Amino acid sequence: MKLSDLVEEMINEPSPIRQIMKMASRQNIINMGLDPDEVISYGGGWVGHHPPEELRHEYMKICSDSEEFYDAGKYSPTLGFDECREAIARMEKELFGVKLEIKNIIVGQSSTQLANDLFIALANPHDTILLFDPTYANYPGQIKMTLRNAKIARLTVLNQESWEYEPSDELSEKFKEIYDKEKPKIVLFPSPDNPSSQVFDDEFVKTIADVCHEKKSFMIIDYAYKTQCFISQPSYFSWSPADYPFMVALHSNSKWGRGLGRRLGWVDADEKIIEALERVQQCSILCPDTMHQFAFTSYVHRALEDGSLKKYLEGVRKAYKKAADITIESIKEYLDMPCLVPQGGLYTLMKVDEDADEFVKRVLKNTGVLFIPGKGFGESLKYAVRISYGPHVENVDIIREGFKRVANYLGVS
């Protein structure tokens, strides 16, 4: 059987993260002579907190009324329902101070799908896309899938020696240099970041925005973890498309209310970009999910009115901050390896000073503890692992236990 050249090529370059998750599958763990119930995983790139009860009630209301359930089975407009786009505009305004009109918003199936559609809408296969190193591991595959041989340029943001992000004045200079050399059509980065949980500061993001504005490139900020920011909110979190027409904000319902399997995402941007995305989305998914939009719309209006959304998000933020603190304290106490202090999100990066693929395999086989090798996020993490506390947020004791086990095996405790 002959598949497409593109897919044949991509099957031969599987994601290193998927490979390690396969290695940690139940059967493989048993084959290694370990008990799968004793495995402690820092691998999951997902959240473990509960969604708001009030959101669940909105789903119950839809499901308990046969006419409402019938109505939730209809197609949505390609851009999403106006009511849902209004709810998003209101939420962005009340939570972050972003000024949006519904013409600035498109709802999609998820931010993964919207990122793919953005690549198609904004760039050509001969263009260059600028990513950071490290960055979210799915971007390179998504770029290849949508733009074939588009060039990916990388701006290294992590200093290997100090194991800290470069100061923003240095990052800004490096960005200008690489921009002049590569002339990217799109600059894409998450903030708070996956895998580093760093939040890029105003000076650096303003530099990127100004250069992109002047040279007519697009700056896409991936806000998958926007509500899980532990430091004071940078001012760009509230920028509007009216001020920055070359900025695109990519959003997801997955992380804030644990909607990972109830998938919905949205983009806010200049009206022209939204119109372009509408055309692409007609071909990619036709329209976003109706049931999730209905539940989300009623929930957001109600929860903004009674203040419960802000309270819920505050609780969630505190819980992840606590899980992050315990993770960093445990690494310091048991392993004493360099690691980044999270400023938001679900992760830290730990420098292991040996080939991380080998380190992860060795540690898994001998302790049943799973880390993610860094290479999939960029060359800068060849000797580092990503550690996720996200899935353990409601059971933080397990976080310490895993590091204690690894320290016993490595003989460093």
Ligand X SMILES: Cc1ncc(COP(=O)(O)O)c(C=O)c1O
Q: What track of x and - describes contact with ligand X for positions 170 through 199 (by CB under 6 A)?
A: --------------------x---x-----
Contacting ligand X within 26-65 (CB under 6 A): 45
> Smallest Cα–Cα separation from 373: which of 382, 197, 364?
382
Could you say which residues in the range 292-351 bind ligand X, by CB under 6 A?
none
B/e letters for 359-379, b = 16+ CB within 10 Å, e = fewer, are: bbeebbeebbbbbbbbbbbbe
Which residue, among 88, 83, 84, has the nearest Cα to 99 in the 3D structure?
88
Dihedrals phi, psi of 399, to nearest 5 degrees: -60, -50
Binding segment (CB under 6 A) for ligand X, from list 105-113, 212-220, 273-281, 389-397: 105-113
Q: Which is nearer to ligand X, 196 or 207 (CB)?
A: 196
224 binds ligand X (CB under 6 A): yes
Answer positive or negative: Cα dihedral of 395, 396, 397, 398: positive
Sign of the C-alpha dihedral, residues 248, 253, 258, 261?
A: negative
Cβ proximity to ligand X: between 228 and 367 the closer is 228
Q: Is 111 in the site for ligand X (CB under 6 A)?
A: yes
Asked whether position 254 contacts ligand X by CB under 6 A, the answer is yes
Q: Single out the segment in contact with ligand X by CB under 6 A; choices: 5-13, 106-114, 142-150, 367-375.
A: 106-114
Neighbours of 335 (CB within 10 A): 18
Give the one residue of 59, 132, 136, 296 binding ligand X; rule: CB under 6 A: 136
Residue 402 contacts ligand X per CB under 6 A: no
- What letter does residue 24 receive in the DSSP assignment? T
Closest CA relative to residue 211, chosen from 251, 165, 249, 174: 174
Regarding 252 and contact with ligand X (CB under 6 A), the answer is yes
Asked whether position 228 contacts ligand X by CB under 6 A, the answer is: no
Is residue 388 a contact point for ligand X (CB under 6 A)? no
# residues contacting ligand X (CB under 6 A): 12
- Which amino acid would we find at residue 311? K
Q: Does 265 bind ligand X (CB under 6 A)?
A: yes
Contact range with ligand X by CB under 6 A, out of 48-56, 110-118, 160-168, 230-238: 110-118
**CA dist., res. 45 & res. 387, Å (int):** 9
Question: Which residues of the shown chain bind ligand X in the complex (CB under 6 A)?
Answer: 45, 110-112, 136, 190, 194, 222, 224, 252, 254, 265
